[in-house]
Structure 1
């Protein structure tokens, strides 16, 4: 090798570094354990996102503390598109609404990139409740004010907030009974000790098919393939009974607009895959292909709804 070639090596190496850096995998931080619903969504979505980006998307589960450590990890990451958060309503909508002490600002410290799906809840009643539609349940519960209860998986959880929303809109005077997980609630529904539960179709389906519960309405704004034949809250007689757990992708704040646009476009291209959409429906998630504005809007609407309800009813996550 001649002297000119030797002198050229450092320059060539410097040129190669950015290309090598761009080959680093993208981390998709999932704030829940492996094996759960959000993790399952990530494992269907990540490979297709990686294909559209021309890179590998590696899933990194960071469960615990309501997803706060996972979200904080993304907040503190460089805004280079290599660390993303698969968030749900619990992080950007429910937690701030219920007064959780968060080490970040959900509006200012993230870049919303893409909405990828949503899951409504079903209004489920025990087979011991002698009604078959929501109007009938409202009339039945009003006649037994203070004697009808609704179960949840814990104080300030989504089933609790949904139950409180139903109770407030219909002015039923129901009693909230929190449990550790919805599994215990279904056992009480079977016995008739709990009268109503609002739960997502993915876990409710088995109990509906087994005849343990009756589904009276779905909390989506429009009819959904996740609950065929089940009317929306408005169609069933209770306007305003709208609530969805959304799934979306966020990056750190201050991402360059061109980079954010590239990630959004890649996500929308991934969400156009017919097989992915079918498999998400199988998980109980209605696929969406929204951009960052759609995600920010969904998070804000849910956050404002729950903030108003929590303040009015004095619901506290520490109760």
Structure 2
């Protein structure tokens, strides 16, 4: 038996032995406060993961500072599989792409374990904008270059980057208007002071159903049950308008292969549960069943996309 296998034995025992598991629960670190969408995902996922691992999985919320404190907890933990991170694009894709100063290397200091979900954004416009499809909006905005704006939840946030991507692809010359959270943007959309917003279905659906905004396109690569009847960017006339916020499980760097494999396989089994998948869709998350490589690729693809956009448009974290 080689040294790596010997190192893996204690961690495997902790994950596989009910008696040991009761003493040493697995901590699932969530970089957002209780009550949010990511927290809701974690609380659906954790008990099913616990069943698969034969252990207790405790959700631990560590909000604030763009997810850095939560990620640091995992980076500094032993690589025994007992401390995991439920990460989203903000930590491994958006933050490094926008030049945030991070106390860790997102490529080297984590072990990607499982991709569990993704959420695209919807291109939303105010009901005061006299169009009903993306082609119409592009033509309308081009005819008013410099007079049309899009809102976001802040500089260098996902809504900002998505809006900048739309603006760049269609060459619209829109003005970015950052707010503190999307709630304020929706209020301005209702009044017609903001013309457009790109936001996830979890928060957009209520406003669409209320008739206060119109959904013109979805940024997924293909049609999604999260936005039935809403065309993709390509189908709506704008190829390249593809962006998803992903959800995935990471551990610390240098996890022994048997430990990582056990958590990956358990996560994949959890994601095959039909009831869980249905409940995730209700939260605005499209369930995915991907291994560590799929998660690493999703994170890298998004990071490279936003890095290129940030460099080209000179987007800075403080405007």
Normalised TM-score (structure 2)? 0.94
Aligned length: 303
Displacement of 1:92: 0.2
- Match of 1:118, SS state, is strand
Q: Alpha-carbon deviations, 1:164-219, whole Å to 9, x = none?
A: 00000000000000011111111111111110000001111111111101000000
Larger Rg: 1
Structure 2 CA distance, aligned partners of 1:231 and 1:29? 35
Matches within 5 A, 1:227-266: 227-266=227-266
**Where does residue 5 of structure 2 map in the other structure?**
none
| Structure 2 stretches lacking a partner, 5+ long | 1-12
Displacement of 1:318: 2.4
**Where does residue 184 of structure 1 map in the other structure?**
184
Structure 1 CA distance, aligned partners of 2:251 and 2:58? 15
Q: Which runs of 4+ in 1 moved over 6 A?
A: none
Structure 2 CA distance, aligned partners of 1:210 and 1:64? 31
Displacement of 1:265: 0.2
CA RMSD across the alignment: 1.0
**Where does residue 54 of structure 1 map in the other structure?**
54
**Where does residue 280 of structure 1 map in the other structure?**
280
**Where does residue 150 of structure 2 map in the other structure?**
150
Normalised TM-score (structure 1)? 0.94
| Structure 1 stretches lacking a partner, 5+ long | 1-16
**Where does residue 315 of structure 1 map in the other structure?**
315
**Where does residue 37 of structure 2 map in the other structure?**
37
Contact 2:21 2:54 in 1 (8 A): no
Structure 2 CA distance, aligned partners of 1:103 and 1:196? 35
Matches within 5 A, 1:121-136: 121-136=121-136
**Where does residue 113 of structure 1 map in the other structure?**
113
**Where does residue 11 of structure 1 map in the other structure?**
none
Displacement of 1:21: 4.2
Displacement of 1:258: 1.1
Displacement of 1:22: 4.7
Structure 2 CA distance, aligned partners of 1:45 and 1:168? 37
Contact 2:21 2:56 in 1 (8 A): no
Structure 1 CA distance, aligned partners of 2:121 and 2:36? 17
